[in-house]
Structure 1
Amino acid sequence: MNNISRVGEAGARTTATADGAVGGCETTWNLRLQPVGYPVALESFEMAEIMCDNVTGANLQRPKRVGRVVPWYPAQVLYSQSRYPSLASHVSRAQASGLPGATFDNPLNRNVETAAINLNRSRACGDAPSIAGKSCDEYPLATTFQGLAFGGSRRTFSGCNINAPTNVTGPSGASACMITDSENSAQGAAMAAFYYDYRVLHTDPWVCCTDR
């Protein structure tokens, strides 16, 4: 009837509840409209793909639980320049040099394979110097498919105390820099919480930005 609106809701109930389970679904609304005096009108709307899982483990006081996300949309983690100045500076410079992860159309992808993570870290920071109050930060992070285990070469910036070429640009490789140790440790905790809260699983995309 004319001038009358209808409101509908849709939800999803997952069966992917066992430990390690991952499931997905796509929802389609098929509408059949027949105004008085007019022919039938048919319309179909596809909703966003949904992924449900029980893969994410517990994180500190946060329990293991089932959750769901839109898997193809990269989640975003933000590094505060006021709280973590040396970390944010390294990340922003690395991204400005052409390394990926700053935009939704050029994200990073999480990697949970221990051997690759260790190789990413060792190739970026394995020969880092011992400097009181500092530790080696690599970007892209070791927990991604964009690290040095997957190709490219190491680069750095002036003042980073890393023996590697400076003024290198391009999307391949990784940057290493000695940053404040407390900030590096805080980044590790922040990433663990981020992966948990946004259910970023193996191969899932995500982006990393610094506030301006």
Structure 2
Amino acid sequence: MQCPGTLPSDPREVGPPQIRCDNAFTDDGNDWNDPEAGPLATPGAGCVFYGYVPVMTYSKGGQFGRLATHVEAAQQSGLPGAYPTGTPLRRLVDTVQKRLNGDTACPRVWVRPEGRSCDEYPPRSTKQGPAQPPTGTARTFAPPNTDWCEIDPAWNVPTGVTGPTGWSSCMLPARENSVGGSLLGGFYRTNRVLDNDPFFIWVQP
């Protein structure tokens, strides 16, 4: 059918969107068969439009402001994951490698300041995490350059490092860091982000 007053157009065939279904997550939100997840619940199946790359958002003006500020600074230094123009992150589910990523960016010998915990970017649950090749070098944004990232100068973590490989470490308020990290886990489940799936992290004002 052609509407009056319009020119005819070439016919186009549009196929249905690509859909992927899985049962990789449990109905309580934990990853199926992930030893870090605790007791297992019933597997819950679900589907997503696979062509859409999901975007996790944090706000610098919200309750995870320091976490968001760290992510933004790390992305601006050249690390991947920035929405919409950066290289997407890719999820990692291997428990051993996730722990290795965390221990690389936040060694257990580092004494955490009271009320603080160590945050790493890219997240330990990504294939661009600190221990994954190409590993690159560490970086941080410690005082006097900023007042939101506490890193002991004795640890010799360099500032001013740029580039797409490596990682950033900062000490952030422990509860903010923990809850903000848990939200990323919820984001994986809601968007059914499986191993090696791409995603972005968008830092909003």
Question: Normalization by structure 2: what TM-score?
Answer: 0.77
Q: Does 1:79 align with 2:29?
A: no
Alignment partner, residue 116 of structure 1: 97
What amino acid maps onto 1:88 in structure 2? A
Aligned partners of 2:112 and 2:118 also within 8 Å: no
Change (3 A) 1:49 1:173: same
Q: Distance in 1 between matches of 2:29 and 2:22?
A: 19
How far is the alpha carbon of 1:46 from its aligned partner?
2.7
Aligned positions of 1:124-163 closer than 5 A = 124-126=105-107, 127-150=109-132, 151-159=135-143, 160-162=150-152, 163=155
CA RMSD of aligned residues (A): 2.3
Any conservation in 2 of the 1:59–1:192 contact (CA below 8 Å)? no
% identity of equivalent residues: 38
Give the secondary structure class of the aligned counterpart of 2:199: strand
Q: Take 1:187 and 1:51, find their aligned partners in 2: how far apart are those partners?
A: 27
Amino acid at match of 2:92: N
What is the total number of aligned residue pairs between the two structures? 176
SS in 2 for 1:196: helix
Higher alpha-carbon deviation: 47-56 or 60-69: 60-69
* Residues 18-97 of structure 1 mapped to structure 2, 5 A cutoff: 43-59=12-28, 64-81=43-60, 82-97=62-77
CA-to-aligned-CA distance 1:70-125 (integer Å, 9 cap, x gap): 22422111112221121111111001101000124511000000111011000000
Q: Is the 8 A contact 1:74 1:104 kept in 2?
A: no
- What's the CA shift for 1:179? 0.4
Asked whether the equivalents of residues 72 and 205 of structure 1 are also in contact (C-alpha less than 8 Å), the reply is: no
Given that 1:57 and 1:63 are in contact with CA atoms closer than 8 Å, whether structure 2 keeps it comes out as: yes
User: Is 1:177–2:177 an aligned residue pair?
Assistant: no
CA 141–64 in structure 1, closer or farther in 2 if over 3 Å, else same: same
The structure that has the greater radius of gyration is 1
Q: Which has the higher contact order (CA 8 A, sep 6+)?
A: 2
Consecutive unaligned residues of structure 1, counting only runs of 5 or more, are: 4-40
d(CA) in 1 for partners of 2:192, 2:55: 12
CA distance in 2, matches of 1:108, 1:115: 19
- 1:58, 1:165 → 2: CA distance? 42
How many angstroms does 1:63 deviate by?
6.8
Structure 2 unmatched ranges of 5 or more = 4-9, 31-40, 144-149
Instruction: Provide the TM-score with structure 1 as the length reference.
Output: 0.75
